[in-house]
A = this chain, B = another copy of it.
Amino acid sequence: MDKRELILNAMSELIAQDKGACASVSDIAKQAGIGKGSIYYYFKSKEEIFDAVVDRYYSDVISKCGKIVENNKIDAITKLKFILQGYRADTKSPPIDTYLHQQSNAAIHQKSLAKILLSLSPIIAKIIVQGVAENVFVCGYPTETSEIVLSVFSFLLDPGIFAWTDEQITNKLTALAIMLERALSAPKDSFSFLYQNYSL
């Protein structure tokens, strides 16, 4: 494994042990089993390391979604189900989330929300276009519609920004499902997967 990966693994491990906030660059080096000097070859600061950890984490989520969209045996509604349910399950990684939601990490948190929206919206847009071709959706603005849906997931449902109860989240997902069904002129209950047995 290359040193950069070792450093990211070490930082992730410290975050998982709830030592993210108090860890110094020396602690990260020690955990990675490399010299402190080596770290500065790859990263300028602890913040940069954390930024890269978050980036790697979301890249994994995005690449998983990218694979779903390329599968030409799955219909559009099922793809959206896999991606949107998967996104909610995947982006609930308690240790990273807890650390990301600390005030001092607000800038990195905000950047990560923007990144996930910009990376996932073209993927979801492709699926909407597929749904139009399959005659299950009517949509003239697939990219923008995807961005609106992802604003709900990235911002409104982010537990670091709002403290909703489970019931409130279910209501928001129900409202989104109804809005999407009508907005895309989709078959009835196409998006009921959003609020049925959602995983927190």
Contact = CB atoms under 8 A, between A and B. Distances in A.
Interface of A: 103-104, 106-107, 109-110, 113-114, 117-118, 140-141, 143-145, 147-148, 151-152, 154-156, 161-162, 171-172, 174-176, 178-179, 182-183, 185
B182 A144 contact: no
Contact of A155 (B103, B155, B183): B155
Contact of A140 (B110, B162, B178): B178
A156 B106 CA distance: 17
18 contacts: A113-B155, A113-B161, A117-B162, A118-B162, A140-B178, A144-B171, A144-B172, A144-B175, A144-B176, A145-B179, A147-B172, A147-B175, A151-B151, A151-B156, A155-B155, A178-B183, A179-B183, A182-B185
Contacts of A179: 145, 148, 179, 183
Contacts of A144: 171-172, 174-176
Q: Is the interface of A mostly helix, strand, loop or mixed?
A: helix
Given A110-B161, A148-B148, 6 more contacts: A104-B107, A109-B110, A118-B162, A148-B179, A151-B155, A154-B155
A122 B115 CA distance: 29
A36 B179 CA distance: 53
Most chain B CB inside 10 Å of its own CB: which residue of A117, A145, A147, A162 = A147
Contacts of A107: 103-104, 106
Contacts of A154: 155
